[in-house]
Amino acid sequence: MGEADSGDALAVSRSGVESAIGRELRRHALALISLGVALTSVSYNTWRNERTEYNRNVRAACFQLLRKLADFERAVFLAQYDRDTSRAVPALAGAM
């Protein structure tokens, strides 16, 4: 009879703890939901800011590339069609 009593006491103890945890979860449900929303919001804003910064860097790099390509196009045009090698290479023309 002693073994059965200790098993019943353990079952009652577990159910008491589980119901206490359940009560606390229900009692603080709004706070837990608010915490989840706040963490999700911070995560999303951080991701969005990182993505925006990446896009800005790519955009700036593309504009620099376009500027360099325009300089190259001008140099090729002057060297090929005008046969003006002094103006075709602006970096060397300034050094001479």
Q: DSSP letter string over 27-82?
A: HTHHHHHHHHHHHHHHHHHHHHHHHHHHHHHHHHHHHHHHHHHHHHHHHHHIIIII
CA gap 85, 91 in Å, rounded: 12
The pLDDT tens digits for 60-80 are 999 999 999 999 998 888 878
pLDDT at 93: 46
The pLDDT tens digits for 29-54 are 999 999 999 999 999 999 999 999 99
Residue 9: pLDDT band (50, 70, 90) is low
For residues 9-15, give the mean pLDDT: 63
